[in-house]
Chain A
Amino acid sequence: MWLTADESEALRLSLAVATRSVLWSLAPAIGLAWLLTRRRFAGRTLLDALVHLPLVLPPVAVGYLLLLLFGSRGMIGGWLLRNFGIELVFTRNGAALATAVMSFPLMIRAMRISLETVDGGLEQAARTLGAGGVDRFVSITLPLMLPGVLAGGITAFSAALGEFGAVITFVSNIPGETRTLPLALYTALQSPNGEHAAARLAALSLLLGLGGLLLSEYLARRVRRLLGR
């Protein structure tokens, strides 16, 4: 391999954290996207704003809020630790949570755009054919919003690879556990004579990002053809 041990470790960790973060947020994002697009309920605007909050908050603030909530003595974090022995602070699961929260709005946005193009008339037609609510969602809505699910997933994955502020605040910068590519890059820049390492890591990030974008475009085209658009 033409990557150093540290580099490949950071790369593997980044991929693992991003994958986990996307897998965790996929189902809630689909549900919330559907709720926010198709339902009218009290508090919808507030929920919408909450979901989008990570887009406008400084990532460090998000990381700090996560620490308050999910820290070992936080409301949710303490409960998780006591009942399930799950520890999030200083772990890669914590890094995945931080990136999931940060990339959640991007994922939801892509899904909502796609869901808005799904003709409600088709769901009505499914009703007249005997499909109940869940059946209708699984057999009609979900397949038709698949381009948005894919686009949202890939966008969120790419964003997760680059998440820095929330991660370093919430789970710190531990080699082999939470030091993902951007954190490794930052560490390299902080150390004397680290410029060469930083340049290599930056190039690696660039390749990853470009690859992600190209893959997303390719998949979107495939799915569109599959759906006949």
Chain B
Amino acid sequence: MSLVSRGVRNLFRNKARTAVVILIVGFAIAIFLSASMVSSSISTNMFKLSASLDTTITVRPAGTSNFGMMGQSQETMNDSILSQIWSVSHVSTVDPVISKMENDQSSNTSGPGFARGRMVQGMDPSQPIFLTFGGTPTISSGRALTSNDTRAYVTVIGKEYANTSGLSVGSAISLNGSALTVVGVYTSGTQFGDRTIIIPYETAKAVYNLTGMNTVYVTVDLVGSMDQAVQDLKSVLGSSYDVSALSSTTGDRAGQMQSSIDATVSSSNFGKWASLLTAGAVMAFVMVLVIRERTKEIGIMKALGFKDWKIASQLVIESIALALIGFAVGVIIAQVGAPYFASMFIGSRSTTDTNGPSGGLIAPTMNFNTSLSSGLVASSLLLAVVLGVVGALYPIITALRLKPAEALRHDH
């Protein structure tokens, strides 16, 4: 009979105790798995939420507006500021933009002054069109700007502006004395948004003889990191710049959501580590009991000439086998009871917070995935093995230190 089979067989010497321990360890591992699933779901959903919410922060020279008013000179920021912005954590994109409001003398529109104006926006041509007036632009004819257009004298114009100015793809327009070719027309669904002329950032610098941008649009990776990112940018850039979230509503909602998420994450993390600690403590306690009961047997094995490492291996195998069975039971419990365990961490919060400031943001907004990922199963399997080894280590070392005669005298 091998060490392994003897170790496994020893598990069933006290069936009732083994069953209780397996259930306790199983439940602990199930809670660990469920809490991990909740944490993981929150992370996934946070990215989804971040993508769906506006997480843009604007940076401008202090005291300036969004764009230069018609014909007015406007302060700009040097390109060197971009590396400072990139140094702030959670920053995922940095888009320098040159905005100019011009009076369009060629336009045949009537109405208030702003309706006759045209907005020129210099931006990174490799990025999708971003309108400071809002709206979601889509190309209706021609093409969008590309990275090949970095210094090209080309433009994509809004449909409203194209219509009122009689322009189309292939037409030429003049900006500050420079001629640019229209390569595309977009529509955004808003009248004001559709009066914008989009040109490459470097071209805008050349056309208007500027050294840098007048606005930087910064996006952060997580909606919950907005406040922190704004604070960090203010701190890095100093008082010469205005830093603000583009949408104050987003910031508020993000803050509320973050506090709710923080509470959920901390409760699931607490559950995770508490369950792990419980499983570890139970394993260690049981192994202390088992080895106390078997000290005499350890003495017998020593008297028979077994090496210490062989005796220790048998006991560690027994402990690992116990942990692995507990793990298997835990996986089954977690698979069956995941929704219930998940509600332990998030359900109560979504209920109690429904009428509160966070408005039950988490549960209704997030779609929790309660199926076990193979990565999570593998990591908890490893954890179970570690639990088995660590739980058995101290009592085994204590028992092996005894001389054979001392161990033989031991009666539990």
Q: Do A and B come from one complex?
A: no
